[in-house]
Each structure stands twice: as structure tokens, then as C-alpha cells.
Structure 1
Amino acid sequence: MTDDSTPVRFDTKIAVLLRDDLQTWQCLNVTAFLVSGLGTRVPEVIGEPYADADGTEYLPMFRQPVLVFAGSKELMTAAHTRAVGRGVTMAVFTSDLFASGHDEANRAAVRAVKRDAMDLVGLAVHGPRNAVDKILKGASMHS
């Protein structure tokens, strides 16, 4: 028998790292875009659909928390390098994407810049807890 109040400890972690110089609307927008791709590549992070007591159905969501961190441009670059080196599932958002208006233009903007020259403003990672912790070393919880 399981107790619903017992905390669940997941073997993996979903985390978003945002550059600390973004405006509030940018933080929200970047976070939404970054996590939108995780379920397509890592379907096990998605839980079951929701329903209310009236039977109205709602979309499923992540089955585990998404932790949001902030850091400097330099920390963002270091975290990206560590994430690439560890081969974790990752999404990126560059400053160029604020000026593009749709998916094809977004992909073209990322494709046009070499990895080391990207002006990263956000990244999302999913992987083993300890690997994600090492990738985000130096970042603080977003406030």
C-alpha cells in the first residue's frame, strides 16, 4: 500500500537554466519553449492524462518536477559545454529566437551559428540526477 503523501524521489531530473539578464516575459516564454520538446524525446517523463470529478479530460503533464535555475552568460556557456560532453537530452534557446516568428525560422537561426558561438539564453536538460547537478554547478534556483 502506498501513501500519496510520501515524497517520490526520481532517478532523473528535468532542469531549465535561464540567463539571469532576461525579462520576466522572456523567462516564461523561454521556459515554455524549452520544456515543450522533452516529452517528444523522453516519453517516460510524461504522466497520465488528467480528469476532473465531472469527467472533463485534460492533457497529461510531466510526471516529475521541473526545476528552474538562473545563471550568468558564462555559466550558461559552461553548462552547455558540460551537457554536450555528458550527452544528456537537451534543448536550447538562443537570443536570435526572440526575433523569429515560427518553428522553421527558429531552427534556421540555431543552425546558422556554430555551437561555441551561440548566444544562449536558456537550456533544458533531462538526465540522471547527479549528471544534471554537475551540469548546473554554480547555478541558483530562479526566483
Structure 2
Amino acid sequence: MDAEELVYEYYAVIDQIGADRDAPLSRLKRVAASVELQVRQADLEQWRKDGWRKTGTTRISDLTVQSVTLDNSDPAAGLVPTVQVDVCYDVSDVDILDAEGASVVSPDRDDRAWERLQVANYSYEDDPSGGWRVAALETLEKSPCAAS
């Protein structure tokens, strides 16, 4: 699996775990690492405590690779191959429901928005194609993309 494929898998796994309260959070380790793994685990643990669940599917409307760096000179210091990917996602089909089944999504939510993902491979030497994980994510202030 390359970095771009991993991005699609990342959103699918987040959807699946968000929808199924019994899905093991350890599945996140297949698609996320570092700060992003910690953030997603904490978010989903809080959802479960609050009785929330996700419905629908996140769609990727646009995916653009912004940069690729294959520097693997010092993995212990974080110098690992990285791919910066900008993603416009569409959540028009997604809802978040509380324990009573009521939506907790703000009516002002944008259904489409941009995120920049830092996809890293901390095991590049041993697994150059399959070791990619989303290590960091930031929301971008850009005009929403077209509907998917």
C-alpha cells in the first residue's frame, strides 16, 4: 500500500471505528502513528464514553500530493520518508449521533473541507510500501472543494 492508498484507508477505518463501538481501537495503528494516532484514539474513546456513534461514509473529493521526501537518514529522530497530501473530504452523508440517536453535528458544519495529512513511514527500511501511516493532520483554510 502506498501513501495515497493509505489516505483512503485512513478515512475508511475512522468511519468504521466511529460507527461500531465494539471495533477495537487498535485498528487505528494500521493507518495512524505518532500525534495523529494519539489524537484519534482520544477522540474515539471520548465518543464511546459519551455514547456517540458515526453514520455514513466520508468521501474524498480531491487528493493532491504536495510533496514527497524519502529521507530515511535518522528514523530515531523522526527523519523518515514523508508524503504531504492535501485532501478535500465530503461528509454530507455523515452524521454523529448521541446515545439517544439525536444528531450532535452543528447545523453550521461545512460538508466539504480541506485537510493536510503528513503521511510517514517509520519502518521504511523494512517495509517501504506498507509502512505508511498518517502521522499528523491539520485543517486548511481553503475554499471548499466541489461535491463528490
Q: Between Structure 1 and Structure 2, which shows a larger proportion of helix residues? A: 1
- TM-score greater than 0.5 by the shorter chain: no
TM-score (norm 2): 0.28
TM-score, length of structure 1 as denominator length: 0.28
Question: Which gives a bigger RCO, structure 1 or 2 (Cα 8 Å, sep 6+)?
Answer: 1
